[in-house]
A and B are shown apart, each in its own frame.
Chain A
Amino acid sequence: MGPSDASTGPGRRAGRGIARSGARALRAFWARAYVRVVAANRDLSWILFDVALPVLGTAAYVFVYRSLRAPEAYLGFVTIGGAMTAYWLNVLWSMASQLFWEKQSGNLEAYIVAPAPMMAILAGMATGGLFMTTIRAVVIVAVAVAWFRIPLVAVDPAGVAAAFVVSMVGLYGLGMSLSSAFLLHGREAWHLSNLMQEPVYLLSGFFFPVRALGFWVSVAASIVPLTLGMDAMRQGLYGPEAAMALLPLRVELAILAVLAIVFLLAAWWLLRVMERLARREGRLTLRWQ
């Protein structure tokens, strides 16, 4: 085999094809993430709007516990829960409902015909959303801790960090799955997001230890990664007894890792279903459906 054969052989051509596809996917990923990493932070009005609302809700629940003379750890539970509401709202309104909004604004067609995998676009959307929301969550926690002088000293910092990372991968994987599912539900997406807001705050134990709901209800609620994620973070912060832990921290981390893989695979599969429907029925991008 001569040099010219080596440079144009089927293996090399396939390699170049993969490299080009990868580069396109990366460009699509960054293009979608850019909007949330850079552009969304140019307008600093988010500091007022995206922080004030969760702080108001968190403050109200802190006062509920203060009026009940609850142990100080409960104020920390509420603070963590308040910060996590930002992630849940982001997943509901900026992930799950996002493809529906994109359809309404006419961007969905561009996504579908773009020469890049939709999964890269969704991953960019998730990564950008995670970055954007983390900035907001940090500010929410800082404001709440400063206002109410809440003790947040971790007994297991590595456990807190691991719980946060693995639950976020699972949560945004869930958001990526829901984005296709909500798109298929058409204009009911808005109502589905509304419907999933407070019930998940309740079932996932955003403002109290989830074990208070009973073991089996808590296990069923663990389908949302934030349920075990918050329980694990509270354990890492205050210890398993004070946090009324549902399961041992390591077990929760293992389950969260499995959930993350399952939701990412589900997102990939649902995207294929959606794209197949888009081609077959030709009406997926029609507005007001």
Chain B
Amino acid sequence: MAVRRRSVAHTILGGVWLGWKVDSNWADPWLFAGYAILRPLAQSLILVVMYWVIAHDTTTGYFGSLMVGGAFFTVVQYVLAGTSWCVIEDREFYSTIRYIYLASRSLVWYLLGRAVAKLALALLSVGVILVFVRVALGAPVWVHGLQTPAGLAALAAGVGATAAMGIGLSGVLLLAARRGEFYSEAVAGSIFLAAGAVFPPDVLPRWLQGVAAVLPQTYWLEATRRWLVEGSWQWSAWLSRLPDGELLGRLLASGSGWGLAGVAVFLAAEAYVRRTGTLDHHTED
């Protein structure tokens, strides 16, 4: 048993190490840090300017909620879209997926390692954005409301569910031919829209509100707003009506459902490509 545990840990750590090398070894650490931060910071600043040209006041709970949602959505982009993109990268660009497959305890553990490397970068961006909006714009972003252990539990549940969804999407990409980046971006973009990351889900059409209600990211981002934003109740009438306990319950229920589905999809896809010998088929030009 000890051997198995170490082997899983080695696979995860190998994924983390490889992810870091692939993502960062083209530049020195400072240049890379700038690169990793600049893109999400620009995304957040777009929201800042959009808000400012209409509403001007950046000290409201609404503005803080907008920025927290936008900042933490970086985690979804990096962990969900970024992890699933690793399949395309390893299979199509570097042609290393067969060696990784043979050397890993399981591709699931390897991809989790890659997700951890992406998560570290995403959290760095989140930190920079939140400090910026707090210090430079006076947004009411600080630990507030929902207690910190509950906030951290919500963060763990949200990240875990997102990573599992990323594993599921990786399974889909094992089967997909060409245009891999579009699958990753389309899923992340759909969640961005349906979960109301940067606007209250109340303004969505009714059918999209139904989608929002089953996504763990909807509840995770709301829990994070309650944890970090003073006046987060200004954000969404629908979500602010949910008591803390029910909010966390919904997060756990939807996160577990999507997480289990994601892993199941991946294992089914992995079995299929093993059976058909298409794990390392090149499909891009």
Contacts and interface: CB of A to CB of B under 8 A. Distances in A.
A187 B53 CA distance: 39
Nearest to B182: A49
A202 interface: yes
A208 B42 contact: no
Interface string B191-218: 0110011111011100000000000000
Interface in A202-228: 202, 206-209, 212-213
Given A53-B186, A212-B53, 7 more contacts: A57-B189, A63-B204, A67-B199, A67-B202, A70-B54, A188-B27, A208-B53
Contact of B199 (A56, A66, A199): A66
A56 B193 contact: yes
Interface stretch (B43-51, B112-120, B166-174, B269-277): B43-51
Interface in A247-289: none
B49 A208 contact: yes
Contacts of A207: 46, 50
A191 B38 CA distance: 12
Interface in A51-70: 52-53, 56-57, 59-61, 63-70
Contact of B50 (A61, A69, A188): A61
B49 A212 contact: yes
Contact of B27 (A64, A105, A191): A191
Contacts of B196: 63
A197 interface: yes
B42 A202 contact: yes
Contacts of A64: 47, 50-51, 66, 198-199
A253 to B, nearest CB: 24
Nearest to A195: B35
Contacts of A212: 49, 52-53
8 contacts: A52-B186, A66-B199, A68-B54, A68-B55, A187-B26, A191-B27, A194-B35, A244-B53
B244 interface: no
B38 A199 contact: yes
A56 B46 contact: no
B65 to A, nearest CB: 11
Contacts of B51: 64, 68
Interface in B61-114: 66
A107 B185 CA distance: 28
B26 A191 contact: yes
B39 interface: yes
B39 A198 contact: yes
B190 interface: yes
Contact of A56 (B35, B39, B50, B189): B189
B285 interface: yes
A63 B35 CA distance: 29
Interface of A: 45, 49, 52-53, 56-57, 59-61, 63-70, 74, 105, 187-188, 191, 194-195, 197-199, 201-202, 206-209, 212-213, 244
Interface of B: 26-27, 35, 38-40, 42-43, 45-47, 49-55, 66, 179, 182, 185-186, 189-190, 192-193, 196-200, 202-204, 285
B173 to A, nearest CB: 14
A223 B54 CA distance: 26
A188 B28 CA distance: 12
A49 B181 CA distance: 10
Given A49-B186, A56-B193, A65-B50, A199 B42 contact: yes
A44 to B, nearest CB: 13
- Could you say which of B40, B54, B204 has the most chain A C-beta atoms within 10 Å of its C-beta? B54
Contacts of A188: 26-27
Contacts of A201: 42-43, 46
B39 A199 contact: yes
A185 B285 CA distance: 22
Contacts of A63: 193, 196, 199, 203-204
A198 B198 CA distance: 16
A206 B189 CA distance: 17
Given A64-B47, A194-B39, A201-B42, A209 B285 contact: no
A53 B39 contact: no
B54 A49 contact: no
Contacts of B204: 63
A139 B62 CA distance: 33
Contact of A60 (B182, B193, B202): B193
B273 to A, nearest CB: 21
A212 B66 CA distance: 19
